[in-house]
Structure 1
Amino acid sequence: MKTKFVFCLVSWLCLLSIGVVRADSDDFTNGTKIMLSCNDVPFQKPKGSDQEQRSIFVPIPISAFLSNKQSIELEFYESIGNIEIIISQNGMVIYSSSENIESNLVERISLSQTLSGCCLLEIKGENGAYAFGYFEI
């Protein structure tokens, strides 16, 4: 009985130490997620008959993170075609870019080190799709 108890205790401590290492990894502390909201128009590029259909519809195939180094990381999960990325503060555009997203990728946008306060991230698709999120620097 003692052997079983000691084995369970050692196993539990090993699992606990694995969890602590995982929490200290760079992936976890890489940044703060920017919560995106969207309109009813999907970002997905129109699919031809030769392309595979997704079994699960992803309303916003994009994730956005604010890193500790004054940059935004946008992760695109699939091809969504031509988009416009706009970052503004108090109605003034501080970053604007047009991109053609043809595959899943991560894009990093560096922000000015002097920038502080609340900003708005907007992503507009050429088909009328729209996503936005507010973040604080």
Structure 2
Amino acid sequence: MEFENALYAGVQIAHNFGAAAIAGTPIAALWFAEARQALLRPLAWLTFIAWLVQAASGLGFGAVSFFMEGELPEIHHLALAALIVKILCAALALILLSFHFLRRGGTPPGVAIWRRLCGLGLTALTAAAVLRWFS
């Protein structure tokens, strides 16, 4: 049980840092948009990596459960809906940033993209609270 708890804690640490970054990085980008244009491109990459960490650590929760307990966690109703919202937010954010990187190359994202990323991050954080409470 100690090893299983250590695995869950490790996944939770990664998930928490990813959660802070998916919401905080777009907010910082909007805050610094005018004054620090040079920061926006690295912040976009940090946001992209944070969403990847969120997705990977989310899968990590299921993987630890499956390999340590032999089954995936049972979640129903509202918790399942919240999980789907989180997955959709991650997918949309990664798609949005990928299209930007492919189409715009070296230019940083504009305010409209940062606002969308902020909305996705805050929506995912809200869904995480619902998932945690109802699962």
TM-score bucket of the superposed structures, by smaller chain: under 0.3
Which structure would you say has the larger Rg? 1
Higher-helix-fraction structure: 2
TM-score (norm. length: structure 1) = 0.26
Higher-strand-fraction structure: 1
